[in-house]
Structure 1
Amino acid sequence: MRTVQITDVDPTRAEDLLAWNALLRDGFNAGREAAWWASDEAVLAQYGDPKPERTSVLLVATLDGRPVGAASASADPGEPAEVEISVLPDARRQGVGTALAEAVRARLRGVAEIVQAETYSEAGKGFATELGLRVGNQEHRLLLDLPIDLEVLRAQHPAPSEVEVRSWTGACPDDVLEDWARLTTQMEEDVPMGDLTRPASRGDVDSVRRGEQRMADQGWILVRSLARLDGVSVGYTEIFVSRHDPEIITQDDTLVDRDHRGHGVGRALKLANLENLMTLEEAGRARWVQTYTALDNAAMLALNRAFGFHTADQLTILEGPVG
């Protein structure tokens, strides 16, 4: 009988941490197109300055002594634990994933009540449902090929004259910080999450600043735009660019206030922030912009596709009790 052994990884040991990250990446991204993963530098920064209230679980699985799988779990107090389980393709269906899942659950008992897990495959979805998780939400992963022709985009998506867009990189300017915190809180309330447990809001000013500092420490450049109508902030968008590995750029949130949708604000924001992005030296080394959109978010899917995004694959997020 082949032997599966599960070992905890000490995140203070850089060599072990990076080997774990590579193993998690190789199993999770096997067979996927242009799949992003956190750089070594970002992982070292993340675990070198952990959130004091967060519980982190890092596991490696060996099969007959060979590393073939890994798992990650993180849980903040009162929130669902986020779990990733990864097995190399040639070691699947030999009990490795099940052993990792059981070990993750054992370490999360008493820490969290709910787990959420992500997969891009039908096999992964089947594995998770066999463990007692249910599908909570599904999203398209979309890619925009780079470079882009800004002149063509400007001609295709003229910004409404009444929409004022302000763009910058890095931390939010002090004079719009409260507006940014308000809109990011609204995004947490509005973003489609299907049947998933919605996390508690963290959109206060202090949490914005803490988040910005952590992102900067991990090597992220924040590319941001804020839209105003009649002097009132009504929408925002942001893009994340890794200084260490800019090949895949992440388009994160885009929000337009409920009372101001359907008037071209989202289009103006996306165009302005892509123009903002293209001013960065790192953008010249990128090949794609990546974003996620819920399957039932027809308006945002249409907007993303109008800007040239195409579907790469589909993310399924599942949820269930820690057990």
Structure 2
Amino acid sequence: MEITHIPAGTLPESEIEDTVAEVVAFDRVVNSASGLGPDFDPRSAEVRRQLQRTNDYTTHALWLGRLGGDIVAKGIAYLDLQDNQNAAEIHVAVHPEHRRQGLGSELLAVMEEQLAGEGRRTLTSFAETPAGVVDREPRTARIAAASGTGALPSALPEVAFARAHGYSLRQLERCSVARIREVGDDLVGGGEVAADGYAILTWAGPTPEEHLEALALLQRRMSTDTPGAADLEEEEFWDADRVRANDADREASGKRLMTALAMKGDEVAGYTQAAHFAERPAVGDQGGTLVIAEHRGHGLGARLKRANHATLLQESEVERVYTWNAAENSWMLAINDLAGFETYAWTSVWKKITT
């Protein structure tokens, strides 16, 4: 197998569109085989961004494995540049017709070696499995997550592959879907100060200047306050400039963001974000949700999500919103249930420290 390493920004402009088309076609076949459905299909704008764009905070690297000129395996790494510079989030996929031939192992070995050469030896990865697949064989042997909550059948291909290459199952996340247009009349937007003193502000698009510092604070807390964060990464550096850069990067990739921010007077209490895409107008992806510890117990998580869903109904064609939460994060899962979410898939979180 011929393997090509493509760090972001290194591919000649003349080759980008052909590569985007090839990668999107490959990813679509892989997703079809996963059983997750077309809502999880690749987006060409996102692939293009991964090939073209980088900024002062994050970048990407792509590996393409070819046989006879055709892509048969793909790897990608998401790389932080200001923090967690010893770490990488990686993903490996093999075309369904070429599995069980050692191609994934070959590609992963190349990726790990090149990332280690850059000082990135703490590797994390994620795999998505439909809930029906996980539940199909309730009595089969299972591998428990190190977080203490949840387990996966050990015979699942993604589980067997990760374990065979030294990755440990750190955590399970529940992927849930809310069908917001079916409950649209029950959603209440933000705006007014509630009786308990909290106001929920909502907006579409980039963060307004007056809220940049609030979002930077919440993003820093997201990297430390969510379940499992300490096991997977260091505290992230966020300031107003990074929020601006992150918003610009999302806009460039075709991602339109909806944000709800909870405030009590001048005090930041929490936020949630969701995105939708022109290429997939009926589907929204839930971004981060956090209520700062000292403001919990007031139902803010559900209020934030429902207010944001009301904004999505007003500002977009979104019909379904997907969200991901740690299985041990029972309080957020309860919030999701209140906000109308139901289980769709399970996401396994894997970690390895290479030598």
TM-score normalised by structure 1 residue count: 0.88
Cross-structure match for 2:124: 116
AA aligned opposite 1:47:
L
Asked if 1:201 is matched to 2:208, the reply is no
Q: Deviations over 1:158-213 (max 9, x none)?
A: x9533211111112222222222112211221112267321441321111111111
**2:57–2:242 Cα contact (<8 Å) kept:** no
AA aligned opposite 1:7:
T
**1:160–1:268 Cα contact (<8 Å) kept:** no
Change (3 A) 1:33 1:55: closer
Query: C-alpha separation between the residues in 2 aligned to 1:56 and 1:45?
Result: 9
Asked if 1:229 is matched to 2:264, the reply is yes
**2:257–2:276 Cα contact (<8 Å) kept:** yes
Task: Name the count of aligned residue pairs.
Answer: 313
Give the gaps of 5 or more residues in structure 1.
none
Query: C-alpha separation between the residues in 2 aligned to 1:320 and 1:42?
Result: 26
1:38 Cα deviation after fit? 4.2
AA aligned opposite 2:25:
A
Asked if 1:139 is matched to 2:143, the reply is no
AA aligned opposite 1:88:
H
Asked if 1:308 is matched to 2:346, the reply is no
Asked if 1:67 is matched to 2:67, the reply is no
Query: C-alpha separation between the residues in 1 aligned to 2:72 and 2:165?
Result: 20
**1:72–1:85 Cα contact (<8 Å) kept:** yes
Cross-structure match for 2:4: 7
Query: C-alpha separation between the residues in 2 aligned to 1:48 and 1:222?
Result: 21
Query: C-alpha separation between the residues in 1 aligned to 2:308 and 2:52?
Result: 31
**1:235–1:265 Cα contact (<8 Å) kept:** yes
Cross-structure match for 2:145: none
Cross-structure match for 1:91: 98
1:149 Cα deviation after fit? 2.2
Change (3 A) 1:321 1:29: farther
AA aligned opposite 1:92:
R
Q: Bigger shift: 67-76 or 96-105?
A: 67-76
Query: C-alpha separation between the residues in 1 aligned to 2:59 and 2:274?
Result: 27
**1:137–1:196 Cα contact (<8 Å) kept:** no
Cross-structure match for 1:277: 312
Query: C-alpha separation between the residues in 1 aligned to 2:95 and 2:225?
Result: 36
Query: C-alpha separation between the residues in 1 aligned to 2:246 and 2:216?
Result: 11
SS of the residue 2:72 aligns to: strand
1:314 Cα deviation after fit? 0.7
Instruction: Select the residue among 14, 18, 21 that pairs with 2:21.
Output: 18
Matching of residues 213-252 of structure 1 within 5 Å: 213-252=248-287
AA aligned opposite 2:23:
W
1:54 Cα deviation after fit? 5.7
1:316 Cα deviation after fit? 0.7
| Aligned alpha-carbon RMSD (Å) | 2.4
Q: Deviations over 1:19-76 (max 9, x none)?
A: 1243245325523234524411232134222236766432222356653221112333
Q: Deviations over 1:2-32 (max 9, x none)?
A: xx44334574322123312432453255232
1:97 Cα deviation after fit? 0.9
Change (3 A) 1:137 1:272: same
AA aligned opposite 1:80:
A
Query: C-alpha separation between the residues in 1 aligned to 2:107 and 2:353?
Result: 16
1:108 Cα deviation after fit? 1.3
Query: C-alpha separation between the residues in 1 aligned to 2:59 and 2:307?
Result: 38
Query: C-alpha separation between the residues in 1 aligned to 2:264 and 2:58?
Result: 39
Matching of residues 262-301 of structure 1 within 5 Å: 262-280=297-315, 283-284=316-317, 286-301=318-333
Cross-structure match for 1:319: 351
Cross-structure match for 2:149: none
Asked if 1:151 is matched to 2:185, the reply is yes
Give the gaps of 5 or more residues in structure 2.
130-155
Query: C-alpha separation between the residues in 2 aligned to 1:241 and 1:71?
Result: 25
Query: C-alpha separation between the residues in 2 aligned to 1:55 and 1:175?
Result: 27
- Structure number with greater CO (CA < 8 Å, separation at least 6) is 1
**1:74–1:82 Cα contact (<8 Å) kept:** yes
1:279 Cα deviation after fit? 1.3
Query: C-alpha separation between the residues in 1 aligned to 2:229 and 2:209?
Result: 34
